[in-house]
Structure 1
Amino acid sequence: MEVHEAITEVVEAAMVRIRRRQTLGALAGKSPVPVAVFRVLDAVAVSDAATVGSLAPALGVDQPRASRLVAQAVSSGLLERVADQLDGRRAVLRLTREGTNLVDAARDGRRCAMATAMADWTDHERTEFARLLNRFVDALDHPATAGRDTNGR
């Protein structure tokens, strides 16, 4: 096995471990809502004008599943549907105060867990990790530009 392939396997295994932790809700803290609903809240929190249609691909689920998850979040008082200011026929999703508090608490918990995991790293190591992780995720999101460094090379 070549070195590149072995390194890729190590990265893949680490990503699987991260995904398992997230699936178990370990990074979301002690959330009173199911992990799938929490992911909806997380996705709405980072969107300017989330709709059920825009959430489905962001969550990696089909439209009916996204609709059910949104309905669950709405009925739990965590999300609300509001008329789109640009197109009144369309409803956008917005976190309620309770939903915002839940997302904020989870973010604080995740950041604390990450800070703890990197507590004995140097500033340079944390900075380099953040740079490389962002580059890695960008390459996953945009495979056509993979391999270029941050200077476009």
Structure 2
Amino acid sequence: MGRKEIEVIEGLERAMIEIRRRQRRRVLMRREVGGSSAALGAGFDVLDVVEAAEERGEAVGVREVAAALSVDQPRASKLVAGVVADGYVRREADQADGRRALLVLTDGGRGVLARAHEARRGAMRRATEGWTAEEREVFEALLTRFVAGLG
């Protein structure tokens, strides 16, 4: 690998670290949605997990939330209990396994996620302000390819 390639890879690493830090602090969401995502905290991540599972047509319970968030099951249970108590998710009996509860987004949870998606898109629009349509398309294609390559 040549010097220029090393510098590019190092630049990608720095950019990804900064994105991760901002995501962890929910900088974009606080700026866009106000305090709601900050108040939800890690519970917001639960909503993302449930939404992604629903989009894939998969059932999700506390075990899957724990795996997706890389936390232990007691922590995932606590996070799930919080979003259930707030009315963003409801538990439904798993028809295949009566001992298991499945998580389903409520209208309130869908509303929070809709506002979050709009906020994220707004942040993306502002971050790419001044870019041409072609530059946005190329960036989207490369970023999508990059994420797929991460495995």
More helix as a share of residues = 2
Residue 114 of structure 1: aligned partner:
124
Which of 30, 34, 40 does residue 34 from structure 2 map onto?
Answer: 30
Distance in 2, matches of 1:42 and 1:30, equals 18
Q: Which runs of 4+ in 1 moved over 3 A?
A: 85-89
Kindly report the root-mean-square deviation, in angstroms, between the aligned alpha carbons of the 2 structures. 1.7
The percent identity for this pair of structures is 45
**TM-score w.r.t. structure 2 length?**
0.84
Residue 124 of structure 1: aligned partner:
134
Residue 138 of structure 1: aligned partner:
148
Deviations 1:3-30 (A, max 9, x none): 2221111111111111122122222232
Give the C-alpha shift of residue 85 in structure 1. Answer: 4.0
Residue 80 of structure 1: aligned partner:
90
- Structure 2: gaps spanning 5 or more residues: none
Give the C-alpha shift of residue 84 in structure 1. Answer: 2.4
Whether 2:53 is the aligned partner of 1:47: answer yes
Give the C-alpha shift of residue 109 in structure 1. Answer: 0.5
SS at match of 2:90: strand
Give the C-alpha shift of residue 53 in structure 1. Answer: 0.8
Distance in 2, matches of 1:39 and 1:27, equals 14
- Structure 1: gaps spanning 5 or more residues: 142-153
SS at match of 2:104: strand
Aligned residues: 141
